[in-house]
Amino acid sequence: MKKLLLIVTGILLMLGSCSKQASNDNPLLTEWNTPFKVPPFEQVKLEHFTPAFEEAMKQHKAEMEVILSNPEAPTYENTVEASYYAGELLGRVAGVFGEFNSVNISDELQALAQEIYPKLSAHGDEIGLDPRFFERIKVVYENKDKYNLTAEQIFLLENDYKSFLRSGAALPEDKKEILKGINQELSSLTLHFSQNVLAEVNNFKLVITNKEDLSGLPESSIQAAAETAASDSIEGWVFTIQNPSMIPFLQYADNRELRKEIYDAYVNQGNHGDEYDNKEILKKILNLRVKRAKLLGYENHAAYKTENRMAQNPERVFNLLNQLWDGILPKVKEERAALQSMIDKEGANFKLEPQDWFYYTEKLRKEKYDLDESEVRPYFELENVRKGIFMVANKLYGITFTPIEGIPVPHPETTVYEVKEADGSHLALFFMDMHPRASKRGGAWCGSYREHHFDKEGKEVAPLVNNVLNVTRPTDDKPALLSIDEVETMFHEFGHALDGLFSETSYNAGYIAWDFVELPSQINEHWAFEPEVLKMYAKHYETGEIIPDELIEKLKASANFNQGFALTEVLAASLLDMKFHMMTEEDANLDVMKVEKEYMNEIGLIPEIYSRYRPTYFRHIMGGYDAGYYSYTWASVLDNDAFDAFKETSLFDQATAKSFRENVLANNGIKDAMEMYVAFRGREPQIDALLKSLGIQ
**Rounded (5°) CA angle 296-297-300:** 95
Where would I find the H helices in 276-381?
Answer: 279-295, 301-306, 314-345, 357-369, 373-376
CB atoms within 10 A of CB 625: 23
Q: What type of residue sits at position 595?
A: V
Burial zone of 575 (CB within 10 Å; 0-12 exposed, 13-18 middle, 19+ buried) = buried
* DSSP annotation of 146: G
**What's the angle, vertex CA 298, arms to CA 294 and CA 300, rounded to 5?**
75
For 448-469, letters b (16+ CB in 10 Å) and e give bbbbbbeeeeeeeebbbbbbbb
Distance CA 73, CA 150 (A): 20
Query: Tell me, what amino acid is at 150?
Result: T
Q: Where are the beta strands (DSSP E) in 350-470?
A: 400-403, 415-420, 426-433, 445-450, 453-454, 460-461, 464-468
Residue 567 Cα distances to 422, 564, 632, 642, 695, angstroms: 38, 5, 11, 20, 12
Closest CA to 518 of 389, 632, 685: 632
Could you give the 3-state DSSP secondary structure of residue 128? Answer: helix
Q: Which residues, including other chains, have CB under 8 Å from residue 550's CB and lie 6 or more apart?
A: none
Is the Cα torsion angle 244, 246, 251, 255 positive or negative in sign? positive
Catalytic residue chosen out of the listed positions 99, 373, 493, 518: 493
173 catalytic? Reply is: no
State how beta strands 426-433 and 464-468 pair: parallel
Element (H, E) at 177: helix 173-203
| Encoded amino acid at 682, one letter | G
207: DSSP letter? E
Instruction: Say if CB 258 and CB 238 are below 8 A apart.
Output: no
3-class secondary structure, 49: helix
Beta bridge partners of 401: 419
Q: Give the closest residue to 28 by CA, choosing from 122, 102, 117, 93.
A: 93
Report CA Rg, the chain: 25
Q: Which residues are catalytic?
A: 493
